[in-house]
Structure 1
Amino acid sequence: MRMLVRLVFGLFVLKAAVASPRFSRQVDLDTYDSVNYDMDLDNINLETQDNYDYEEGLTIDDPQIEIGTLAPPDYNYPEPEESLETQTDVEEEEEEEELPLKPQLVPQGSGGSGVLMGPDTQKGMPTCLLCTCLGGSVYCDDLKLDSVPPLPKDTTHFYARYNRITKINKSDFASMNKLKRIDLTANEITSVDDRAFMGLPELEELVIRENHIPQLPALPETMTLIDASNNDIGSKGIHREAFKDMTGLLYLYITDNHIDYIPVPLPDSLRSLHLQRNNIQMMHEDTFCNLKDFNYIRNALEDIRLDGNPINLSRTPQAYICLPRIPIGDLI
């Protein structure tokens, strides 16, 4: 029994010892929180009072100060130094800009000196400034020219329509080895040197309509188109057998002139022959066909114009048997 009492007493003492620090600690924490809470309330009351006093000092008329962020001061940052390579490149570019442009010479043309933009014309300026040069084509239309201007050597097509050119000299197209087409429509040409076009190995098309040319000049065998309409070409204005060797001739237009015969022989390549409004009064039966060979057919010549001439086509019916179409003209 005594042992039991001691055991119970020991347990009670142990329990009391364990519980005692926790209680003391809890009391300390509660006391600390209470003191801090009181101090926080005092601080809060003081701040509130300060704010209230500051706001009380303001009136309606007093401007309110806005507190913002100040802009950063301007700083002059030092520019990075250029490398030696960059400075050298800039200096070279400046030197290149300061150098004067060197004119490039255009190859010498017919009678010209080969200066910038083509040879100088009689008007004192280069051909390609006076005219328009596009590739190998030179356009000098309606510029009141009284002569053929010097052309760049590589000219392939030359147009000088509606000007006042009066004469074609042999030197006008000298050494123009690439020239293929010449168009001198509507000028005042009254004279053409007979061999003015014979030195042109590539010439294919010549248009000299609406001038006052009395005689058709000699032309190279390379011709494919000849238009000498509206001129003053008479009965002796075309060379004998002028077109015989032009094996590539396709179009021959000699309308509105004064010729009185069809200029035979005509090459088999010819497709179109316009001789209207001339003075042709008769035609031989072998003008187009071969009376010795009735099997001969001229298939290419499909367009023959003889209207406006004093000729009766019905008088020579054998002259058309080799043609695909009968010529246009009077049949009565």
Structure 2
Amino acid sequence: MRMLVRLVLGLIVLKAAVANPRFSRQVDLDTYDSANYDEDLNHLHLENHDIDDYEDSVIEIGTLTPPDYSYPVPEASLEEEALEEEEEVPLKPQFIPQGSDGSGVLMGPDTQKEEGLIPTSPTTPQEGTGGFEGSTGSGLPEPDKPDEPEEPEVDRQGMPTCLLCTCLGGSVYCDDLKLDSVPPLPKDTTHFYARYNRITKINKSDFAFMNKLKRIDLTANEITSIDDKAFTGLPELGELVIRENLISQLPALPETMTLIDASHNSISSRGIHKEAFKDMTSLLYLYLTDNSIDYIPVPLPDSLRSLHLQRNNIQMMHEDTFCNLKDFNYIRNALEDIRLDGNPINLSRTPQAYICLPRIPIGDLI
């Protein structure tokens, strides 16, 4: 009984499976594979044969010349090729003539290799000719060498001083202008500089009514004479520099002087006023180097610090030149710099003349 039931159930399951579409497709596939197996095998043999034939054909095709395709080239690429061709052009040797900062030799990358470029003659073109010896030249006349322009003569008469000179505040600078006289100065001038000119004379009117003038510097002119009252009307004048001129007489100076420099002139002892410096109670520096002075101009104010008389003609000195023989307690502390070297004087002959000084003068002590 059980066996019968199992048999019936198996038939039912089998029938249902046969009726399932998935089962039918699998049966078709199995049938297709078995039926076409032989065809696929034959087709595979044919393909292998075709591959062999293709390889033979490839070998034959490789020997053929590829087709020539001529496409239009863009203009930009043409320009680049032209530039490359220009860059590849070798430099040609050039001859640089002497006289144009050249050495008169050929220049170029292949100068030494190329034959016939270097001249066999060692001669070089003459400077200024522009060619080789024996050449005919350009045939053009050579321009005349221009002469150096001469310095124009400037008419300084009537020209405003601050246009001719340089005015900075109260200072007027007229250095190296080839002046032959003192120009009219502004009334508020405090410092006047006219160095390295051609001034020959100082007149009284040159500095008249210059109540603020404190310094005058006339170094290195050609002054031969100074009006004796040219500086006496200057109430503020403190410094006068007239060195390197041709002065033979020192003019009268106001008592306000602090510095006098008349070195490198032709001043003699007769050219200095008697007791010219006695009342200058503010005088600090007196420079009379390189003149023709015969003796030290006394009396000297107690304020004096520096006295330069080198290379004059001083032959003797008195014991009271600097000191007071009546007062042995008198000491001149300010006068520390006395220069007498270059004079025919023996300082050892007057030892009492220095007992009031803080330092012995510089000079010949033999």
Residue 253 of structure 2: aligned partner: 219
- Give the 4+ runs in structure 1 shifted more than 2 A: 121-124
Tell me the TM-score normalised to structure 2 length: 0.57
Aligned-partner SS, 2:231: coil
Q: Distance in 2 between matches of 1:196 and 1:124?
A: 22
Q: Alpha-carbon deviations, 1:134-193, whole Å to 9, x = none? A: 000000000000000000000000000000000000000000000000000000000100
Check whether the contact 1:213–1:233 (CA below 8 A) recurs between aligned residues: yes
Q: Distance in 2 between matches of 1:235 and 1:271?
A: 21
Work out which of the residue numbers 198, 209, 219 in structure 2 matches 1:175.
Answer: 209
Residue 170 of structure 2: aligned partner: 136
Check whether the contact 2:250–2:273 (CA below 8 A) recurs between aligned residues: yes
1:239 aligned onto 2:263 = no
Check whether the contact 2:269–2:297 (CA below 8 A) recurs between aligned residues: no
Q: Alpha-carbon deviations, 1:99-148, whole Å to 9, x = none? A: xxxxxxxxxxxxxxxxxxxxxx9433210011000000000000000000
Aligned-partner SS, 1:128: helix
Check whether the contact 1:313–1:329 (CA below 8 A) recurs between aligned residues: yes
Check whether the contact 1:276–1:307 (CA below 8 A) recurs between aligned residues: yes
1:268 aligned onto 2:292 = no
Tell me the TM-score normalised to structure 1 length: 0.63
Work out which of the residue numbers 224, 234, 243 in structure 2 matches 1:200.
Answer: 234
Q: Distance in 2 between matches of 1:122 and 1:223?
A: 32
Residue 161 of structure 2: aligned partner: 127
- Structure 1 residues without counterparts, runs of 5 or longer: 1-120
Work out which of the residue numbers 168, 177, 187 in structure 2 matches 1:153.
Answer: 187
Check whether the contact 1:122–1:149 (CA below 8 A) recurs between aligned residues: no
Residue 329 of structure 1 aligns with an amino acid whose one-letter code is G
Q: Percent identity?
A: 92
Q: Alpha-carbon deviations, 1:243-277, whole Å to 9, x = none? A: 00000000000000001000000000000000000
1:309 aligned onto 2:343 = yes
Aligned-pair CA distance for 1:234: 1.2
Aligned-pair CA distance for 1:313: 0.3
Work out which of the residue numbers 241, 253, 257 in structure 1 matches 2:287.
Answer: 253
Check whether the contact 1:265–1:287 (CA below 8 A) recurs between aligned residues: yes
Work out which of the residue numbers 320, 328, 333 in structure 2 matches 1:286.
Answer: 320
Q: Distance in 2 between matches of 1:270 and 1:262?
A: 14
Q: Distance in 2 between matches of 1:124 and 1:228?
A: 31
Tell which structure's C-alpha radius of gyration is larger.
Answer: 2
Residue 186 of structure 2 aligns with an amino acid whose one-letter code is P
Check whether the contact 1:146–1:166 (CA below 8 A) recurs between aligned residues: yes
Check whether the contact 2:323–2:330 (CA below 8 A) recurs between aligned residues: yes
- Structure 2 residues without counterparts, runs of 5 or longer: 1-154
The count of corresponding residues between Structure 1 and Structure 2 is 212
Q: Distance in 2 between matches of 1:124 and 1:201?
A: 28
Aligned-pair CA distance for 1:235: 2.4
Residue 246 of structure 1 aligns with an amino acid whose one-letter code is M
Work out which of the residue numbers 319, 322, 326 in structure 1 matches 2:356.
Answer: 322
